[in-house]
Amino acid sequence: MVDGGDNIREADWNSVSDIIQKGGTIIGSARCEDFREREGRLRAYGSLTGASTFRTEWPDLLKELVDKKRITQEKAEECPNIQIVGLVGSIDNDFCGTDMTIGTDTALQRIIDAIDAVVSTAQSHQRALGNTVLALRLLPIQFICQVVKEKLHYDTRSTVLGHVQRGGNPSAFDRLLGCRMGAEATLALMEMTPQSNPCVISIDGNMMVRVPLLDCVARTQAVQKAMDAKTLIWQ
């Protein structure tokens, strides 16, 4: 995004054709250190944490681009305001405000497939093969291996899936979720006014809802701080 140029262009039907079956992110990662600097935002034309700043600075950024002769005044007048709607794609499902993030269901299915794949080997060797899946694990794998070895007297080994759980074709749930969120995001953008605040498209139950972006970010950061401080209380 910060590279600008042909990386940012008007979307049409072809932009969302033949992509539903693809894994990963076709538009690249949102994590970009350049976006945190003003010069990086000048080249951009979002990270969630920088979205509000980007939107607030948009008029000044346009003026600066015109002053530096990077764009014409006519070009700046074509886009006097910028509206921001976010979709959360993450296998971690760690964003407050939505029941599920795009990619979580696919990652869980990949984990289940991997576990099923090692069952036959574990049975033939008469030993348990542990499995760690980064942020998606329920318990530390070393702890599980130790308990199995001490209590059941099985030899244990761990298998790290790593980035395997992030790839592959999306599950049916994620394909539908991505389509529904994308459609709702388009409607939200069409209905926004210059006074509208940035929002995130979330799923609540089975409904697509629009929630304030900054509120979701603040809640997510608060939960992470509570977890780090071990003060999180589940209710």
- Cβ–Cβ < 8 Å for 130, 144: yes
Extract the runs of DSSP E, i.e. beta strands, from 59-170.
85-86, 128-132, 156-160
Rounded Cα gap, residues 175 and 60, in angstroms: 38
Q: Which of 34, 60, 92, 113 is catalytic?
A: 92
- Cβ–Cβ < 8 Å for 153, 171: no
- Cβ–Cβ < 8 Å for 96, 216: yes
Strand partners, 86: 200
211: CB partners within 8 A, 6+ apart: 97, 98, 199, 200, 202
92 is catalytic: yes
**Checking phi first, is residue 18 left (phi over 0); if not, alpha (psi -120 to 50) or beta?**
left
Q: Which sequence positions are flagged as catalytic?
A: 92
